[in-house]
């Protein structure tokens, strides 16, 4: 009961902070994250008052299912970006930019951190450097999607951004699997072909196959339901089922695992291409998922470990990581968009919208913890970066989309209509 009470307090606080955020022209994502930090173990949680905040991180671990479900809904929504009709327009462009900027970012961070290693070999090893380089490729789809939805962004940058973020995470997973395999080989002195080559490929193909099968099954079952309510329940049930199945992992000489993001992305992609009513069903599922997304960001904010700022090594490497990753994303996007002859606004602003980083990167650090003596350092550096990105990237994404002309300010007419409605409502209340 206590964690749920704390969660409800955090959600309500997040809603209140969005009002203040609107005055300051801040995205709702930032308000939710700040609300999570306030009810976390470092602020209200430190008072140890039941229900007021999360007293420790063990309470937050019990809420991991919320994060998994939220990422499932996000990935399902992003699957629509792979609709064949859309891919015919920008498919080659999306794919090239998504792959190029992810690989470019990994190389930039790899080079920067390896140079840091030669300057201070006792601080970071080559194994940790190339592992962090692979983690740098991942972008946060949740932050991007929330900003786009809140401000109803539309235009060339937005049209390219969503599928690129989806491709970006798929490429990031591959890069991480290969880089981490090489890092373990360097650390242990033994090259494991299964870890470097087979396991990443098996995970990718298994995830795509499971997602495709679930998408076809969802399309088949949809025919037996006719009311909007039943179709909504059906789609939500399938997302939850797919998330649950994707968390199964079988260990062996060649391990079999799934990427929840890839599985749910494939589910959405197959469903939107095979079901005639997919647009309507997915739109309803998106609306239902908004409270889940708020929960996700509140929990993410509470999970931020602020004590990372007390560790000088993590802060120094974190700053180095953030700067090199940001440079890699921006320059990589700029080069690839110029190569594909995109519009000037896309070339100028797309890279800035690719900076957010959160859940996927933190998930990679769980695997990276297997690296002896280096796992905790990697996690602390990524935690520092996530904290910085989560509090600044939503603002930068909003700024870039506004500068690109894809977030339109509220027109005076709409503002006046809203003000008049509030005045009428207040008068009616006073008359009663």
- Determine the distance from the C-alpha atom of residue 120 to the mean position of all C-alpha atoms in its chain, rounded to a whole number: 32
Higher pLDDT, 185 or 275: 275
Q: What is the mean pLDDT of the chain?
A: 81
pLDDT of residue 94: 87
Strand partners, 250: 256
Q: pTM score, two decimals?
A: 0.73
In angstroms, the Cα distances linking 358 to 128, 321, 327, 355 are: 19, 14, 18, 10
Could you tell me which of 102, 124, 29 has the C-alpha nearest to residue 325? Answer: 102
User: What distance in Å separates the CA atoms of residue 70 and residue 245, rounded to the nearest whole number?
Assistant: 15
Confidence of residue 413 (pLDDT cuts 50, 70, 90): low
User: What distance in Å separates the CA atoms of residue 360 and residue 52, rounded to the nearest whole number?
Assistant: 29
DSSP 8-class letter at 56: S
pLDDT of residue 215: 93
Looking at the chain, the whole-number percentage of residues with pLDDT higher than 70 is 87
Q: How many CA atoms lie within 13 A of 10 on its CB side?
A: 34
Q: Which residue has the tokens 């949740």?
A: 142
Token pair for 267: 């589910």
pLDDT of residue 192: 58
Are residues 285 and 20 in contact, defined by beta-carbon separation less than 8 angstroms?
no
Token pair for 358: 């959160």
* pLDDT at position 225 over 80: yes
What DSSP line would sit under 61-81, residue for residue?
HTTHHHHHHHHHHHHHHHGGG
Are residues 361 and 130 in contact, defined by beta-carbon separation less than 8 angstroms?
no
Are residues 298 and 11 in contact, defined by beta-carbon separation less than 8 angstroms?
yes
pLDDT of residue 213: 94
User: What distance in Å separates the CA atoms of residue 63 and residue 403, rounded to the nearest whole number?
Assistant: 37
Q: What are the tens digits of pLDDT across the range 21-57?
A: 778 777 787 788 888 888 888 888 888 887 778 888 8
Could you tell me which of 370, 390, 378, 325 has the C-alpha nearest to residue 168? Answer: 325
CA angle centred on 242, ends 241 and 245, rounded to 5°: 85
In angstroms, the Cα distances linking 120 to 116, 182, 317 are: 6, 21, 11
What DSSP line would sit under 186-229, residue for residue?
HHHS---HIIIIIHHHHHHHHHHHHHHHHHHHHHHHHTT--SHH
Q: What are the tens digits of pLDDT across the range 382-396?
A: 878 887 887 788 889
Are residues 406 and 157 in contact, defined by beta-carbon separation less than 8 angstroms?
yes
User: What distance in Å separates the CA atoms of residue 147 and residue 281, rounded to the nearest whole number?
Assistant: 22
Looking at the chain, the whole-number percentage of residues with pLDDT higher than 90 is 19
pLDDT of residue 108: 95
In angstroms, the Cα distances linking 199 to 76, 184, 374 are: 24, 14, 22
Q: What are the tens digits of pLDDT across the range 76-127?
A: 887 777 788 777 766 788 889 999 999 999 999 999 999 988 888 888 888 8
What number of residues does the chain have? 432
pLDDT of residue 252: 62
Token pair for 118: 């030669």
User: What distance in Å separates the CA atoms of residue 161 and residue 169, rounded to the nearest whole number?
Assistant: 12
Q: How many CB atoms lie within 10 A of CB 328?
A: 27
Three-class SS state of 381: helix
In angstroms, the Cα distances linking 136 to 9, 175, 326, 379, 423 are: 33, 10, 9, 12, 49
Token pair for 367: 């695997």
pLDDT of residue 179: 81
* pLDDT at position 194 over 70: no
């Amino acid at each position: 009961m206590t964690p749920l009470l704390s969660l409800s307090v955090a959600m309500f606080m997040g809603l209140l902070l969005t009002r203040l955020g609107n005055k300051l022209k801040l995205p709702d994502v930032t308000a939710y994250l700040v609300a999570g930090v306030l009810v976390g173990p470092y602020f209200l949680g430190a008072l140890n008052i039941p229900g007021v905040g999360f007293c420790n991180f063990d309470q937050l671990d019990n809420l991991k299912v919320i994060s998994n479900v939220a990422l499932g809904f996000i990935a399902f929504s992003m699957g629509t970006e792979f609709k064949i009709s859309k891919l015919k327009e920008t498919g080659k462009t999306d794919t090239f930019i998504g792959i190029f900027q992810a690989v470019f970012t990994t190389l930039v961070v790899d080079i920067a951190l390896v140079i840091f290693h030669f300057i201070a070999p006792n601080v970071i090893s080559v194994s940790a450097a190339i592992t962090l380089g692979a983690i740098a490729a991942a972008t946060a789809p949740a932050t991007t999607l929330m900003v786009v939805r809140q401000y109803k962004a539309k235009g060339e940058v937005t049209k390219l951004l969503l599928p690129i973020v989806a491709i970006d995470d798929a490429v990031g997973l591959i890069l991480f699997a290969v880089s981490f395999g090489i890092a373990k080989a360097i650390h242990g002195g033994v090259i494991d072909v299964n870890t470097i080559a087979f396991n990443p490929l098996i995970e990718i193909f298994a995830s795509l196959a499971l997602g495709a099968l679930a998408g076809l099954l969802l399309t088949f079952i949809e025919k037996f339901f006719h009311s909007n309510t039943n179709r909504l329940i059906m789609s939500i049930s399938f997302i939850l089922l797919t998330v649950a199945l994707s968390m199964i992992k079988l260990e062996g000489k060649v391990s079999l695992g799934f990427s929840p993001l890839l599985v749910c992305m494939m589910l959405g992609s197959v469903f939107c291409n095979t079901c005639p009513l997919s647009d309507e069903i997915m739109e309803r599922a998106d609306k239902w998922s908004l409270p889940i997304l708020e929960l996700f960001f509140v929990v993410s904010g509470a999970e931020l470990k602020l004590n990372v700022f007390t560790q000088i090594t993590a802060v120094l490497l974190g700053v180095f990581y953030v700067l090199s990753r940001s440079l890699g994303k921006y320059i990589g996007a700029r080069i690839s968009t110029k190569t594909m002859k995109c519009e000037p606004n896309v070339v100028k602003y797309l890279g800035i919208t690719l900076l957010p980083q959160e859940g996927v990167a933190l998930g990679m650090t769980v695997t990276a913890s297997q690296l002896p003596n280096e796992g905790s350092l990697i996690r602390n550096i990524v935690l520092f970066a996530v904290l910085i990105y989560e509090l600044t990237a939503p603002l930068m994404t909003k700024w870039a989309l506004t500068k690109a002309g894809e977030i339109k300010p509220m027109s005076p007419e709409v503002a006046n209509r809203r003000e008049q409605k509030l005045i009428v409502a207040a008068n009616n209340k006073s008359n009663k």
